[in-house]
Amino acid sequence: MKRFQMTAVFIFSLVVIVFAGCQKKAETIKVGVAGPMTGDQAKMGTDFKNGVTLAVEEWNSKGGVLGKKLDIVIADDQHDPKQAVATANKLVNEGVIGVIGHFNSNCSIPASDVYSRAGIPMITPGTTNPQLTEKGYRGVFRVCGRDDQQGRVAAEFVTDKLRLRRIAIIHDKTTYGQGLADEFKNFVADKAEVVYYGGIIQGDKDFKTVLTAIREKKPELIYFGGIYPEAGLLVKQARELGMTVPFMSGDGTIDPKFVEIAGAGAAEGTYLTFGPDPKNIPQAKTFIENYSRRFGEIGPYSIYAYDAANILFTAIKESNSTDGKAIMEKLHSSEFPGAMGNIRFDEKGDVTVSPFVVWITRDGKFVEYWRPGK
């Protein structure tokens, strides 16, 4: 009997020692990359990973930072908040200097608690939910825009450029989708009438019921807060119901799969808000060449991840320190050149210049269509 108990104790201690043994002393400077690396959103995580990898390779070929090589630690949050906290703790435990991530709002927000407690800066390339930087943490930054900025640009486009007055709004009941739809609703409600506002279930396939209800209200535009699979199905099924009303959505929809699901005919003319096209940015030319040579097609978030990594490394270099606090102060005070243009963070950690523009779907491709204020 005792033997059994002793064996159990032995095995347990062994497990603990193995875990504890993972904490090695740093010979390199480690940075974490966190996002959904497996599962149905694995593509976004891969974009992050590739973008950061490219930046790291470029820095290492020039001798690294502060005389040390850079090293990536990848963390898979599986777009699950619980996993996000666990992986954040794991990254902290491995001694990363900073983190590029996460992607989903409901992962970035709880994970930011962990990083802030540990005094590690975090730069997200893709979380647009305003809540993230409203918590007052010094070390939380984002290189993308915020949903309130995105919602405002979309609303401006709809009411001022297209001059539409009857709007239907749908969202997918996620932190991201509902947050974006609500921001859009706030801004659009001044000048137009919101004739329908409601949620659908993410992962559902049949939206004809909700679309039939919307059709009765005769909207001039349907706005969707959510990501591409549902967006594609919504557009496709609306066309099947004989609805020709234009669609508009946010940065979660800008994925080639959207057109594939909706069918090129149905997707034609769909408006999307997203950052400016890198192809139109002179600074991005080398990035586009190097990235496509190394990894093939550029994902929507590759360039943001690349910029986020470069900004972090520059801040480490310029503050001449691996101390989290010094890096955070540097991030707040300097301006950084990036592939998307120069970036400066405000007090909250958001980018000072709102980067959103409106894109349109033409012949199955996304092209930049309208810039606010013009």
Partner 1 sequence: MRSILVAFWLAFLFLPFKGPKAALMLFAVVLIIVSSWTYLKRRGRTLREKVFPRINALRAMSLSGKRLSLAQCGLLLFLIAVPFFAGDYVLDVAILCGIYIILALGLNVVVGFAGLLNLGFAAFYAIGAYSYALLNVRLGLGFWESLPVCLLITTISGFVLAVPALRLRGDYLAIVTLGFGEIIRLVLNNWDSFTNGPNGISEIAPPRVYGLSLGGLDKYYFVTLAAVILSYIVVKRVRLSKMGRAWIAMREDEIGASSVGINITMYKLYSFAFGAFWAGVAGALFAAKMRFVSPDSFTFMESVLMLCMVILGGLGSIAGVILGAVVLVALPEALREVQSYRMLALGAGLILMMIFRPQGLFGGARK
Partner 2 sequence: MLFQQIINGLTVGGVYALIALGYTMVYGILELINFAHGEIYMLGAYLGIILFGFFTSVGLTSHSLALSFALTIALSVLFCSAYGFTVERIAYKPLRNAPRLSPLISAIGVSIFLQNYVMLTQGATDKVFPDLLGSAGFDLLGARITYLQVLIIGVSFLLMLALHLYVTKTRMGKAMRAVAQDKVMASLVGINVDSVISVTFIIGSGLAAVAGIMVAMYYGLVNYFIGYIAGIKAFTAAVLGGIGSIPGAMFGGIFLGLIESLGASYISSEYKDAYAFAVLIVILLIRPAGIFGKSTEEKV
- Applying CB under 8 A, which residues contact partner 1? 1-2, 4-6, 8-9, 12-13, 15-16, 18-20, 22-23, 38, 76, 80-82, 85-86, 89-90, 92-94, 105-106, 109-110, 113, 131, 173-175, 178-179, 199
CB of 173 to partner 1, least distance (A): 5
Best CA proximity match to 254, nearest among 235, 234, 271: 271
CB of 352 to partner 2, least distance (A): 35
Name which of partner 1, partner 2, none residue 27 binds, using a CB cut-off of 5 to 8 Å depending on partner kind.
none
CB of 263 to partner 2, least distance (A): 4
Q: Which is nearer to partner 1, 9 or 353 (CB)?
A: 9
Q: How far apart, in whole angstroms, are the C-alpha atoms of residue 309 and residue 141?
A: 12
The residue whose two tokens read 């329908």 is 196
Start-end of H helices in the chain: 2-21, 42-61, 81-93, 105-118, 147-156, 175-188, 208-217, 228-240, 256-262, 264-267, 285-295, 302-319, 324-333
Q: Which is nearer to partner 1, 106 or 149 (CB)?
A: 106
Token pair recorded at residue 263 = 């069918």
Q: How far apart, in whole angstroms, are the C-alpha atoms of residue 122 and residue 308?
A: 9
What one-letter code names the amino acid at 194?
V
Name which of partner 1, partner 2, none residue 261 binds, using a CB cut-off of 5 to 8 Å depending on partner kind.
partner 2
Q: Which is nearer to partner 1, 111 or 238 (CB)?
A: 111
Q: Which is nearer to partner 1, 85 or 326 (CB)?
A: 85
CB of 5 to partner 1, least distance (A): 3
Output the CA torsion sign for 54, 59, 61, 66: negative
Q: How far apart, in whole angstroms, are the C-alpha atoms of residue 365 and residue 2?
A: 69
CB of 186 to partner 1, least distance (A): 15
200 binds partner 2 (CB under 8 A): yes
Q: Going by DSSP bridges, is the β-strand pair 335-336/271-274 parallel, antiparallel, or unpaired?
A: unpaired
Q: Which is nearer to partner 1, 121 or 355 (CB)?
A: 121
Cβ-proximal residues to 315 (8 Å cutoff; 6+ apart), any chain: 121, 327, 330, 331, 334, 336
Binding string to partner 2 for residues 257 to 276, with x set by CB under 8 A, is what?
x--xx-x-xx----------
Considering only residues 229 to 258 of the shown chain, the ones binding partner 2 according to CB under 8 A are 229, 232-233, 236, 239-242, 257
Name which of partner 1, partner 2, none residue 76 binds, using a CB cut-off of 5 to 8 Å depending on partner kind.
partner 1
The residue whose two tokens read 């659908």 is 200
210 binds partner 2 (CB under 8 A): yes
Q: At what angle do helices 175-188 and 147-156 cross, to 10 degrees?
A: 40
Q: In sequence order, what are the beta bridge partners of 197?
A: 169
CB of 279 to partner 1, least distance (A): 34
CB of 328 to partner 2, least distance (A): 35
Decide: 306 and 284 in contact? Cβ < 8 Å: no
Name which of partner 1, partner 2, none residue 236 binds, using a CB cut-off of 5 to 8 Å depending on partner kind.
partner 2
Selected range binding partner 2 among 33-41, 117-125, 141-149, 315-323, rule: CB under 8 A: 33-41
What one-letter code names the amino acid at 107?
C
CB of 199 to partner 2, least distance (A): 4
What order of strands is seen across the sheet that includes strand 193-199?
A: 193-199, 166-171, 221-225, 247-249, 271-274, 357-362, 365-370
CB of 235 to partner 2, least distance (A): 10
Decide: 188 and 194 in contact? Cβ < 8 Å: yes
The CA distances from residue 200 to 70, 158, 186, 208, in Å, are 44, 22, 20, 11
DSSP three-state, residue 350? coil
What is the binding site for partner 2 (CB under 8 A)?
A: 38-40, 42-43, 173, 198-201, 203-206, 208-210, 212-213, 215-216, 229, 232-233, 236, 239-242, 257, 260-261, 263, 265-266
